[in-house]
Structure 1
Amino acid sequence: MSSIQHLVEANRPGLQQYEALYKKLHANPELSHQERETSALMVKHLRGLSDELDIRTGIGGFGLIAVLRNGEGPVVLARADMDALPVAEQTGLDYASTKYATRGEKETPVMHACGHDVHTVCLLIAAESLISAMGQWTGTVVFLFQPAEETGDGARGMVDDGLYTRHGCPVPDIVLGQHVAPIRAGVVASKSGAIMSSSDSLKVTVFGRGGHGSMPHHCVDPIVIASHIIVRLQTIVSRVVAPDDVAVITVGSIHAGEAENVICDRATFLLNIRTLSKPVRKTVLEHVNRVIQAECDAGFCEKPPLIEHHMSIPATVNAVEVEAKMRQTMADVFGRAFVTAPQSALASEDFSILADAVGKPYVFWLFGGTEASLYDSMAVSGELSKLPINHSAQFAPDMSVSLRTGGDAMVAAVLTFLTLRD
């Protein structure tokens, strides 16, 4: 048994209290930038763990850190995200969310449909474990609880609010993060290089000239022009991006007009772009802008289109050297349950901003949340694509196994980069 494996097992806290905490969090989710009660609950629990924790709150909204100093050595930052999604839960769990919250001008149901409640509890488990093991390591650990991951601006908000300056967070030597995923519960998966994609979101407004539906020759129809743009955008993926590169362009929303016999004066659509490399990202963004401009010119728009770039998240790219170091630890701790992720995920994370802001390396990995027997049966029947995935109203991680796996994985990763005592 490796020393880290022994430390993980010897210092794992009883999980019953954490299961109860998880149920409370799951039943009481909060949207991005509204994580007041979740943040307060984190602080309350952390204060109950140890007086050694230096807790600082109100960072970039409801973000917080708890700093555990234990002598000279490396600084390791471990991150969890706290926010939920505007989704109406359909899991049927006895602790399912029935919460509603105001989003914009509307009341919307709220659910932890992405597993951030798992992440926060796993980080608390890791904090208790590492406090228990303080006699066996030296260095500093920062436990960071981040708001607003789903809106893509939570990590940036913490950094811009002075995370590493006025809030006094020690600059880390390594930043660590993880995400529960719809893979077999108990499995941990990592890979070097890009593990998650970049994400760019645009709001595009096409301006036409409105009028009566019976007189289109006196109008400039923005719906027709927007439709041409939306179809033409897919040729960027099929005809501009190389076949062995990856890009996804999705138009997820389009709004125009109010009546069938009126040609409206503008059409608006929302666009999302996913890529895995900086060169491909740059190429796609350039061509998206060119297509929009060209189609508006071809449609005789009297006013240039308005292209608003309202969210941008970089790809999550694990450096080979640090991922290899963590990989060895995970293989020792999890054995055959640690695997190499077969491909990059086209989901996105703002996690890397916490490291990039101070020019430090990071490692991000996935761990399984799908109940093992369900996963195995669906694999045998070839129906894995039917399993509830992140952001689904039916996404329900296997609570006990997910918490244990995520807690153990974070402890193992943190210990990998601290100095262990002989």
Structure 2
Amino acid sequence: MTSTLRRAGGFAAVGTLALAAPELGRAAAAPFAIVALLAAFVIDEGPAFDLFARPQDRRDGRLNGLAGFALAATGLAILSTAPRASMPTAVFVAAVFVVGYGNVGACAVERVDTDPFRVVAGFSLVAFAAAVAGQLVVGWTLGSSRPVPTVVFLAAAGALVAALLRSMLFERDDPIVMLSTGLLLWLFEGIGVGPGFEEVGVALGVTVALGYASYRTGTASVPGMVTGVLLGLLTIVFGGFGWFAVLIAFFGIGGLSAKYRYEEKRSRGVAEDNEGARGSGNVLGNAAVALIAVIGFAASAEFPVEGALFRFAFTGSLAAAMSDTLSSEIGVLFDRPRLITTLQRVDPGTDGGITWQGYLVGVVGAGVVAGVAVALFGFDRPALAAATVVCGGVAGMTVDSILGAVLEGGRVGNQTVNFLGTLAGAITSAGLAVLLL
């Protein structure tokens, strides 16, 4: 039976057909379409079948995995050649290479070590290198060099996006990973990369180092670490280091609060799962609104919206996340909580249950975010700006508790409630900024 590394190498070889796109022009999708047809309807035995067949393919007698991979590449190729789509050819090639060659890196590591961190690192490093090489080759073929910061940023972002999705999905979902990566890279390309090579390099180095530290200290799982690194990279590139400092203040303090007196929380039955390490869902639930805000800020020149409002939305959402995290992690250590909607006494850890101590700590957490934001963003009226951020944090924390009491459980999970709470914080801060500043 073919080893997973050889099979991954076969998929990568198919992905290399993307390099023919500059020469093929509007026919760039043809090689992948042909591969998809052969995989789905022609090849059902022989060396090619043995090379590409996954266990499920052998049971079905059809190379569904290869067909899906080739069809996803076909779709991206069409987007890169359609007159009204205009996905850059380099983005198409980067997305295909990230998945195809990233899997080679992951499989190579898995042959000697199955540690999840090392497997993800192997995927990301090889995917990054392949995406850089693919973009440079396309630029050379087309006779137009792409800016180095753009090449490095798109390769890093693509590797991280694919690594994150791959950690959450199955091997058979590679087509989804490829399409999602391609579409996101297209969005990032459209926004543009402002910083130079040094800034992008520093951003990548800082976020990777902090992500590794969060994993080693147990404050983040492997998917949570990858998500945090991706968020950090996007925040620095599209916002700046000041935005990143606000983000890292939340992740740092919030992560440590989950570890604070963890054994006592465990004994009380209110500790977070996975030893308090943040997963990707937790990270995205708390920071998705902030990411939308920083991307909106980067794209604000194209819309009739003040860029400063996105700063308040960003800081307000993170103030809400900080408030909710601290109030929850500290509040559960105190007895006699009350349900926020009825003020009836409930057991510690009950969704929507609050203590005055936890609520007070939540207000302090919002103040910390406000202080960092005012110090780094240089608002014209710092005291009033800080007050709007604190109000956003408290409003988001309150909304989160109310939604937890009313909705959480069943189909509405904690991540959804966190997202809505941070959204409330962003809207409150931005709205107050419009009215008062």
TM-score, shorter chain, exceeding 0.5: no
Structure with higher strand content: 1
- In the superposition, the TM-score normalised over structure 2's length comes to 0.27
Higher relative contact order (CA 8 A, sep 6+): 1
1 or 2, which has the higher helix percentage?
Answer: 2
